[in-house]
Amino acid sequence: MPLSIRAGSIAAACCALAMAGCRAEPPPTEQPPEPQAQTELRDAIQAPQQKAAAVEQLLQEGDARQRAAIDAAEGG
């Protein structure tokens, strides 16, 4: 193999290696969800829990009134 072909092959290999290191940064794989979407999901999950807590509070208040009425009727 003549010297000029070998030198050309080495130069081409060096250029190929140099170009391989110059690639652009890859795009991000996944974007985080928008905060608004998380808020809507959280609200959808918490709504029935808040409603149940309000119903429980009403039941406890009604129970307290009923016990007070029974105690008053018994004279105690």
pLDDT interval class at 9 (50, 70, 90): confident
pTM: 0.46
- Enumerate the domain spans of the chain: 35-76
DSSP 16-51: HHHHHTTPPPPPPS-PPPPHHHHHHHHHHHHHHHHH
pLDDT one-digit tens code per residue, 13-63: 777 767 666 667 767 778 766 666 678 888 999 999 999 999 999 999 999
How many other β-carbons are positioned within 10 Å of the β-carbon of residue 23?
7
pLDDT of residue 46: 95
